[in-house]
Copies of this chain bind each other. A is one copy, B any other.
């Protein structure tokens, strides 16, 4: 029993009085875009209000107020999430950090202190101006917020060599359920004082607190990369060549696209991709100096030995970026064929062939189109299930396939989500992956930190 049933105007007036300079949006036409993230959760509720915080103190006031009245708060970054982590809750409020956009770059300490509303691409640009690099690069980097990246422990394309978001988070400011603001970690490259709370909040999907500031570790700029692109007429050849590469070197990128996604991208971008190929791999080496050529040759040779029908290597930055952009564009391109159920399953890398062939079988069995793209080098795949919501039978089959693909990943010792988060759309499968004892442990921590259950209720747990 929370305050969601009784959230009347008087409560909102109380909050507005407390925060006279903060936009509290209640017009349903205005709040509509805040009901869902990019996963377009069909179960989205209607928020009573959308609150546009401008600073940590605003977030604290909102949480004190929400705590006092037991009002559910759904934190939201840029709304580019792919698992319904920012789905609005009936009668609750959406707290958006999109206006919190400050960044301070310190090139000597090699850190950036950023507010959560800044986009990943804006962070990258700001630190590049100081000659530094923030590696994590979700495909959505131009539209996703750094706060959302931290909340989901987002991955990306270069993570196969450079790691994921948590590897670059040195510190956080977090507002807890009761409105307390805590600083965790800080601008120290090594710090083991107390529990690893910074790491606990990264990837907690807004269920334990609201991130209002992030201290990011930066590194020197990425060296120039060579790009190797190959087409395969057999899925097995493509996956075998992935393993041949990853067991010897660490590529800076190793991406996979299946025939359906190649064709969807080619339909949209008309860049001359091989429509007949069963799979395309895009790899990069950014090893310094001559080692880059050696690695690129090794990758090209591995592809050739596994019967690639075409292997193309380039040192040209723009050519390489064109292929990377094509891969990044795969989700929007496939989405043009119809609404998607987006998967994010990952497996230990030797199980990748079995995962891909199993997905194909599920697609055939359920008679649905499943396009597959993958961060192949780390075993993380994105099967995209296309369906027509007007076709109830197809939609039902798509949802069955959605679950079966997660069941398959779990059976292969894998995960239901490698980088997008559990959100609301995958939470039914979480206990199958982690087991009852880990769910109990998770609930104990959730209850210790958010006893009223007002932080992003219904997400993850």
Could you tell me which A residues sit within 8 Å of B by CB distance? 107-111, 152-153, 155, 159-160, 163-164, 166-167, 176, 180-184, 186-197, 199-200, 202-204, 207-208, 219-220, 243, 246-250, 287-291, 294, 346-350, 375, 378-380, 413-422, 426, 430, 433-435, 437-439, 441-442, 444-449, 460
Contact = CB atoms under 8 A, between A and B. Distances in A.
A445 B442 contact: no
A447 B448 contact: yes
Residue among A192, A195, A220, A444 with max Cβ neighbours from chain B (10 Å) = A192
B250 A219 contact: yes
B192 A421 contact: yes
The oligomer's copy count stands at 2
A153 B196 CA distance: 9
Given A109-B348, A449-B444, A194 B422 contact: yes
B380 A199 contact: no
A247 B190 contact: no
Contacts of A195: 200, 203-204, 207-208, 442, 445-446, 460
A243 B106 CA distance: 13
B204 A196 contact: yes
B250 A348 contact: no
In the A-B complex, the 9 residue pairs with the smallest Cβ-Cβ separation, listed nearest first, are A199-B199, A288-B291, A448-B448, A189-B378, A190-B418, A191-B415, A187-B348, A289-B291, A444-B448
A445 B420 CA distance: 26
Residue among A348, A413, A430 with max Cβ neighbours from chain B (10 Å) = A348
Given A248-B220, A441-B182, A196 B200 contact: yes
B438 A182 contact: yes
B203 A196 contact: yes
Given A193-B422, A197-B441, A288-B289, 9 more contacts: A108-B349, A108-B350, A109-B348, A155-B190, A164-B190, A189-B378, A194-B460, A195-B207, A219-B250
A182 to B, nearest CB: 5
A248 to B, nearest CB: 7
A308 B215 CA distance: 34
Nearest to A170: B348
A237 to B, nearest CB: 17
30 contacts: A108-B243, A108-B247, A108-B350, A109-B350, A155-B190, A163-B167, A183-B438, A184-B438, A187-B348, A188-B347, A188-B348, A188-B413, A189-B378, A189-B379, A190-B375, A192-B421, A194-B433, A194-B439, A195-B200, A195-B460, A196-B204, A197-B441, A197-B442, A199-B199, A199-B202, A219-B250, A290-B290, A291-B291, A445-B448, A448-B448
Residue among A193, A420, A421 with max Cβ neighbours from chain B (10 Å) = A193
Nearest to A378: B189
Contact of A166 (B183, B196, B248, B413): B196
Contacts of A379: 188-190
A185 to B, nearest CB: 9
